[in-house]
Each structure stands twice: as C-alpha cells, then as structure tokens.
Structure 1
Amino acid sequence: MDEVSPEETPSQKVPPWLFRAILTGAVALGGLYVLGWLIAELKMLIVIVLVSFFLSFALEPAVNRMERLGIRRGVGTGIMFLALLAAVGLFLWAIGTVLADQIGDFADDAPGYINDIEDWLEDTFDIEVDAQGLLDEFQEGGAVANLATRLADNLINLGATVLQVLFQILTIALFTFYLVAEGPKLRRNICSLLPAERQRQVLSIWNLAIDKTGGYIYSRLILAVISFLVHWLVFWLVGAPFPVPMAMWVGLISQFVPVIGTYIAGALPVIIGLLDQPSTGLAMLIAIVVYQQVENYLLQPKVTAHTMEIHVTVAFGSVIVGSLLLGAVGAVLALPAAATIQAFLASYLERHEVVQELEDAEAAQHPEREPLGDRLRQMLDRVFTPK
C-alpha cells in the first residue's frame, strides 16, 4: 500500500523574500569589505585631504579679510603661505640652533663625563673601569666599522623617508592653496548640485567649520604669544641658556600639541637648564608649572570664551578618538572637529527646559560654589590691592 505524503503547509514553504534578503546582505557585506579595503589603501590620501581642509579653514578667515580690503584672493593666499613658511622656518632655525649647540657642548664634555663616571664607580663601589681601554677595544674590534655600515644604511632609508615627507608636504600645500584661493567657487560648484534647502545646510556646516577652526587657531596663537612673552621674561631673569628659543618652544608646543604638549614643552627647557645649573633648571620647572596653572584657570577660559569653548572632557575624548583613528594628525584635528560638531548640534537640536523639581533637587545636593578661577582672582585682588 502506497504511503501518501502529507500536504505541504504554508509554514513549511520558503518565504519569497528570503533569497532577496540573503542576496542583499551578501552584497552589503561585500560592499563594506571593498569600502574598508579602499579606505586602508587610500588612508594617506585621506589624511592629506583632511589636513588640507583643516589648514584651509584656518587660513580662510584671514584671506577673507584681505579680500575685503581689496587684495585679490590668490595674492592674499600667497601672503598667508609666505607668513606661515616664515614662522615655521624661524621656529625650526631657533630650535635647531639650540640643539646643535647642546650636542656640540655634550660632545666636548663627554670625556669629562666618562672620567667622572669612572671615578664615581671606583670611589662608591670600588669598581675599576678602564674606559679608554674599552673604547680602544671597541674601535680595534671592528665595531666602529659595523656601526658606520649600519648608519650608512639608515641614512639611505632616512633620505627616502625625507623625500616622501617632502612630497606629502608639497601635496598638502597644493591642496590647501586651491581650497583657500578657490574656496567660494568650490562651494558654489558643490551647492549647485543640491536643492535649495540642502545648499543652506551645507553652507551652514561649512561656515561653522571655518569659524571654529579659525577660532581654534586664533585662540592658540594668542595663548602661545602670552606664554612666549612670560617664559622669555622668566627664563631671562633666572639666567637660563637660550631664553628666546626656549620660550618659543614652550609657547608653541604647549598650545598646538594636544594633551601631552605641556609636558613635552616643559621637558626640554628644564633638561637644558639642569645641564647648565641645577638651580636654574629647578627655577624653570617652577615657573612652567605656575604659569600652566594660571593659564588653565585664568587665561584660557577668557580667550576660548570668545573663540572656541569646549568642555575639557569632550576635548580629551575627542583627542583620544582622533589619535586612535589617524594618529598624531587625528589628535591635532580632533579639537576643531569636536567644536564644529558641538556647534552644529547646538544649532540644530531642540533644547527643552528642565523640570523645576529636578533643578531644586540638584541644587540641594550640590550647593553652588564660585568657580576656582573667580576665587583665585579674588585672592589675587586681596593680595595686591593696597589697603
């Protein structure tokens, strides 16, 4: 007797949309893979474009002012490029002079350092070290020749790296010049592809980016100039070596290198001061620490309130995210990018009033206190105001 197969119920049928969903998912995954591969392969180009946009946003406010004064946009862009090149060249020359002098002095004093270490080991631990004999054995054993060979190979690699960096700098300069000189034309060409409402949004975001990036550079420059003048005066008073280049180093590095810039800026002058005289290095360290507190609580809030005000937690988090994504370049670009996003959200997100009961409960738990900066100013007024 033949078996009769049960009729196929609707729940056992394959849904007609399942194949399309699988195909769509496979295509989406493939597209994401290709996109990730393209981003990895074009990462350097993406970084160059981002840096070029950042520099163009920073330079455009000054070029716009010159254009309003009757200077052609291309000429104004060239003037700003020459000013930037002169500033970078002056900074590198000043720091290079200091490093060259310090390296030369260290090379001249190296035999004395070796003899002092040899005497200290012998007096303290009764260890006799023939430093000159070790040096002669090092030279006669061929180690010097091997070291010279490795240095030659490293110099070849260094030369290739320098050429690559120069090419990247020239590419960034070319992109930046075009973005600044042809900025209005570029914006018109982009907006011509969009409907009217989208055009207004794009222009609003673009102008926000220019304002925030320009404000970031402007505030950093103001703080860098103040820092340079104060540290120059202090370094000169304590008799520190190279007061002008060291003050330039502190002013620029502390302002334009996020998070760790303060420590890098203070380390070099303190080390050079300690090598000169321990008391000088200690005085420089105290001056740098005191000024940093004054800048954090008094100067920076006043300056950034009119240019680019961003919460310290947001700033720190944005720097971490930027450094994870793009390394050192991302860390530098993170602050103006975060300020632009913050301003965009503040402009387009709707805010609501807080319920009164919540405000009362918050006030009861955390009584309002004067900001630390205001309390410091009041304390200084009491100290320096004549009775």
Structure 2
Amino acid sequence: MTGTDPEDRGSFFDALRRRTVSSDLSPGVPPALRQATAYSWRLLVIAAAIGVVVWVVIQLKLLVVPLLVAILVTALVWPAFSFLLRHRWPKWLAIVVTVLGTIAIISGLLWLAVWQITRQFGSVRERTIEAVAQFRQYLIDGPLHLSAQQIDDGLRQAGSFLQEQAEVLWTGALAIGTTLGHVATGLLLTLFILLCLLADGAGIWRWTTRLFPRVARPAVDGAGRAGWRTVMTYARTQLLVATIDAVGIGLGAFLLGVPLAIPIGVLVFLGAFIPFVGAVVTGALAVFIALVYNGPLIALFMLIVVLGVQQIESHILQPILMGSAVKVHPLAVVLVVAGGAMIGGIPGALFAVPLSAFVNVVAVYLSTKAWRDDGAAVNSADLIWQTVPRDRGRRS
C-alpha cells in the first residue's frame, strides 16, 4: 500500500467497509426480519434496564418510598412555601410554618375523623348487624331460596377473596414496612428529606446535574425542570380535586342523614390521590354505610351523589385543571395504577401517575430537544466559571 495515492487508499477502505457490511448481513435473511431483530434486542435491553431499576428500588424500598413521599409532599406545599418567600419571609421561618402547617392540617383531619367514628361507631355497628341479618333472611325467604349453608359458604369465599386482595396491597414489594419501627423510620426520613428539599432544593438539583457529562447537563437540567413543573401541576390539581370531591360527597352524605359524613369526606380526600382505585373504594364505602344505616332509597341517592361528583371530576375538573402539562390517557392511567399496585402495593398505586407523567414529559422534552431553546442558564454559568481561570492563566 506504500506509494499509493491517498484517493486510491480511501476508495480501497470504502470498498473494504462495504464488503464487510455486506458479508455481515446475510442475504438470506429478509430485510423486515433484520429490522424486527434490531428492534427486539434493543427492547430487550430496555426491559432488562427497567427490571434492574425495579429490583434496586425493591431492595432500597425503605429509602425510596420516603424519598418519593417527600418529593410529592414538597410539590404539594411548594406554592405556599413560594408565596411566603415572595413576601420576604425568612427561609427558615417559611420552612417552619409550611411544615408545621401541613402536619397540623393532616393531624386535624385525622383527629376529626377518629372523633366522629368513636361517637357514632356504636349505633352504626348495631344498624349494620340488623341490616345484615335482614338481608340474610331475605336471601333465605326471597325468590332465591338460598340455604343458610350456601350463604355461609358464599360469605366465606368473599371474605377469603377480600383478605387475599388486601394482603396483595399491604405486602407489596414497595410497602413502607411491616413493623412499627419501619413506619416510624420512614416518617422521620420523609420529614428530614422534606426539610432538605425546602431548604436547599436548588442546590441539590445543581449537584445532581453535575453527576452527568458536561455536554448532557443542559438536557438533564431542562428535562428535570420540566418534569418538576409537571409534578407540581399534578399535585396542585389533585389537591384541589380531592378537596372538591371530599366536600361534595361529604356534604351529600350529611344532607341525606348518612352517619360518619365527616370520616367519609376525609377518606374521599385521602383516596383521591390514588386515581380510580381510591374513588371507587371510598365511594363504595359511602354507599354501603348509607345502605346499612338508612336503607335502599337513601343508598340510591348516595350513589347518585357519588357518581355525579366523580363525573364532574373526570369530565370537567380533570381536563380543565390538569391541562396539557400532565396529559396521560385515561387508559394509560388505569394500566399504570394497576401495574403499580401489583408491583408496589398501595405506594405503587399512589406514585404510579406522577411518575408516569414525569417520565412522559421528560421523554417528550428530550425527543424534541427543547433544551436548546431554554438556554440552560445554570449550566452556562458553570461553564463560564470553569473557563475563566484558564483564560486568566494564559494572559499571565
């Protein structure tokens, strides 16, 4: 090859490369099959990566679940915290007021619910026993003509099924813990992470972006900020929707004379943060209490109230308030919540929608390369700071 012209040498290597590529691709394999195979092994790699991430999360569940809870709570209280900072409150005082106010609101709701339950539990229990006995007698004397043994067997099977489903939810792979110590540790860790995020969330994020290569920092920074805005939008919307659901269903139960109206409202408020599952369970509980205590007619009215509030939520509140920032198709929401419940129990169902919304926005942001229009001020300042000393050294 010595003494040959550079153009001849380049054409030689081009021919050699084409021959190598053509020899690797067997002419007997159809192009469609080669393309499908290329997609398949890439999908397998992605699935393996997701599996590894899920396995790591399961192993570190006592750390991951408090972290996710703290992030979600931070998104919930961030508007109030930002409001205090904009009005020139000291940061430490804004943190104290925000955290203590959140704890006071949650504790007050739980105390109010427990107080109402302890006051009316006796009468509700007696009416429930009477209603169950009447329904049992109706099954025996009514048109079905069931025997007592058949009723007992059906109740036993229903109880076993409910117990199995409850065990699946409570003992999910991402359950907070099975002991009181695990729960206490998770609460303390959640509170500590919440304080750190409120005190220095921007600094934590800047440190996180520096873990990536310098070239990728603008994309990571822009995608993370877009995802965080999405989580905050989701949290604010869910908070408002949960409040409206709780007030609507709780007020309906109060006007219909259904007992435990306040606990029903509190449960509806808390259950609204688990899409579909929480609404169905809390609505069914309200209708059941109305049925056993007030009779079928009031239970029918209670069902109409529950369905009416949920229809207003799903067809008016969610599309208007959620907007395009958290646009996830309802079918995707159902599948994601079901998958999260199967993998992680109640925490999995709770975090399924905000995580899917975050991933959706980040993926769209990266695919459209929107960070090129955002500027990435943090990373630009970082690059300028790193180049100034070298320039000064050259001048000296």
Under TM normalisation by the shorter chain, which class is it? 0.5 to 0.7
Instruction: Tell me which residue corresponds to 1:99.
Output: 117
Alignment of 1:156-305 (within 5 A): 161-253=179-271, 255-278=272-295, 279-305=297-323
Distance 2:136 2:85 in 1: 67
Alpha-carbon distance change, 101 to 275 in structure 1, aligned in 2, over 3 angstroms: farther
- SS, match of residue 67 in structure 2: helix
Q: Spell out, residue by residue over 1:172-214, the C-alpha distance to the aligned partner (whole angstroms, 9 max, x if none).
A: 1112211221111212333445554433223223212321111
Distance 1:318 1:233 in 2: 31
Shift of 1:85: 1.2
Instruction: Tell me which residue corresponds to 1:17.
Output: none
Instruction: Tell me which residue corresponds to 1:87.
Output: 105
Shift of 1:256: 0.8
Alpha-carbon distance change, 200 to 75 in structure 1, aligned in 2, over 3 angstroms: farther
Q: Spell out, residue by residue over 1:113-146, the C-alpha distance to the aligned partner (whole angstroms, 9 max, x if none).
A: 8998999999999x9xxxxxxxxxxxxxxxxxxx
Alpha-carbon distance change, 246 to 38 in structure 1, aligned in 2, over 3 angstroms: closer
Aligned residue type for 1:273: A
Aligned residue type for 1:319: V
Shift of 1:215: 0.8
Alignment of 1:1-387 (within 5 A): 41-106=59-124, 161-253=179-271, 255-278=272-295, 279-305=297-323, 308-350=326-368
Distance 1:112 1:348 in 2: 61
User: Does 1 or 2 have the higher relative contact order (CA < 8 Å, sep 6+)?
Assistant: 2
- SS, match of residue 275 in structure 2: coil
Alpha-carbon distance change, 199 to 77 in structure 1, aligned in 2, over 3 angstroms: farther
Alpha-carbon distance change, 280 to 178 in structure 1, aligned in 2, over 3 angstroms: same
Contact 1:56 1:176 in 2 (8 A): yes
Q: Spell out, residue by residue over 1:83-137, the C-alpha distance to the aligned partner (whole angstroms, 9 max, x if none).
A: 2212221221232233323432256679978998999999999x9xxxxxxxxxx
Instruction: Tell me which residue corresponds to 1:151.
Output: none
Aligned residue type for 1:303: L
Alpha-carbon distance change, 107 to 63 in structure 1, aligned in 2, over 3 angstroms: closer
Distance 1:38 1:224 in 2: 32
* Count of aligned pairs: 287
Shift of 1:260: 1.2
Shift of 1:64: 3.1
Alpha-carbon distance change, 229 to 46 in structure 1, aligned in 2, over 3 angstroms: closer
Alpha-carbon distance change, 252 to 116 in structure 1, aligned in 2, over 3 angstroms: closer
Larger radius of gyration: 1
RMSD (Å), alpha carbons = 3.7
Shift of 1:76: 2.1
Distance 1:48 1:63 in 2: 20
Aligned residue type for 2:268: V
Any unmatched runs of 5+ in structure 1? 1-31, 128-159, 352-387
Alpha-carbon distance change, 80 to 112 in structure 1, aligned in 2, over 3 angstroms: same
- SS, match of residue 182 in structure 1: helix
Contact 1:218 1:307 in 2 (8 A): no
Any unmatched runs of 5+ in structure 2? 1-49, 148-177, 370-396
- The TM-score normalised by the length of structure 2 is 0.61
- SS, match of residue 349 in structure 1: helix
Shift of 1:218: 0.7
Report % sequence identity: 24
